[in-house]
Amino acid sequence: MEDGTVLRADVFRPTDDGRHPVIMTHGPYAKGLEFAEGYPGMWGLLSAKYPDAVAGSTNKYQNWETADPEKWVPDGYVCVRVDSRGAGRSPGHLDIFSAQETRDYYECIEWAGTQAWSNGKVGLLGISYYAVNQWQVAALRPPHLAAICPWEGASDHYRESARHGGILNVFTSVWFPVQVSAVQHGVGERGARNPNTGEPVAGPDTWPAAELVAHRTDSVAELRARPYYDEFYRERSAELEKITVPVLSAANWGMTSTPAATSRATPASPRNTSGWKSTALSTSPSSTPTTASRCRSGSSDTSSPARTPAGTSSRPCSSTSGTSTGASSCARSTNGRSPGPSGPRCTWTRGAGR
């Protein structure tokens, strides 16, 4: 980033030497956290009620509310997931929806748009948090941003998220400790591990509790202390009139409470029973044919709305795990894991990427 902070990203891409369109997410949920481990209740509900949504993929790279590379890479897309500042594998101060976080997203888009494997067109696709920050960053007009698809994401932080009708919404107090601070960078060895790499999803650093607190903004306290619309809310709300790229927005209204819709970011974390996210399940398309080959990379991406691939594909893929700033480079290459029943062998490359 401009201030020298390094953000870590997973890149899933075709193995050819072509230039491809990019699908990106940037956020605090830990790119390496396996969907089924981090959110077992939601995964069980999704796979039981909507089996078509998880068909045609090994689901080993599934991660919360982002694109599944096994469904996109075979059709010629590059999937990029970035851990935002202070979250997952990215160091720094964690401050959700802040102006700094939005500016970081801008820089990530510009980085992806200028890589050798990119055709210069970056699209954004994600659910909830990964939808909210699409509105924010699109208003900054990154030159390489081609389109956005915010799936159930608020655009006004005060009216639509924090204080409905001026009344404090307690959602953040339930959600933040379970899904955000539980995977803050520095949780390290106390947290979950990426099943594909064996590395801590919120490391490599392991910090004491006091240091973790010092490296994050107390968002719950900020909301309680700010009953009226002010600069805090203004910088976290999108300027919709400034967005010029094409938009496909999926919206919903409602909050359900179901014990089955639970989530946990680490084995020791309390479960979130608010059910706030469960509404996203009913909007997923219900048909995802199996393609002839699937991405078999070394990192894990998540499922955003299921997408029907255009026919079958035999294009293999590779994954690059590195940072989201500077020129691409590689520190180490290894052969991909043995191909499974749904895909060919691919190469997984990890590098500093600076």
Distance CA 134, CA 154 (A): 10
Looking at residue 252, its pLDDT comes to: 79
Out of 106-120, 170-184, 255-269, pick the least confident. 255-269
Q: For the segment 29-50, what is each residue's pLDDT rounded down to a tens digit?
A: 999 999 999 999 999 999 999 9
Q: What is the mean pLDDT of residues 223-252?
A: 96
Pick the residue with more confidence: 274 or 119? 119
Q: What is the mean pLDDT of residues 229-253?
A: 95
Query: 140: Cβ–Cβ under 8 A, 6 or more apart, which residues?
Result: 102, 103, 106, 242
The percent of residues above 70 in pLDDT, for the chain, comes to 71
Strand partners, 148: 124, 247
Four-residue CA torsion sign, 127, 130, 131, 134 = negative
Pick the residue with more confidence: 109 or 308? 109
Average per-residue pLDDT in the chain?
A: 78
Q: What is the mean pLDDT of residues 324-334?
A: 28
Tell me the domains of the chain and their CATH numbers: 8-350 (3.40.50)
Question: Residue 318 carries which side chain, given as an amino acid letter?
Answer: S
- Distance between first and last Cα of the chain: 10
Q: What is the mean pLDDT of residues 300-314?
A: 34
Q: Render 76-138 in DSSP notation, one character per residue.
A: T-EEEEEEPTTBTT--S-B-TT-HHHHHHHHHHHHHHHTSTTEEEEEEEEEETHHHHHHHHHH
Q: What is the mean pLDDT of residues 277-306?
A: 31
Pick the residue with more confidence: 270 or 53? 53
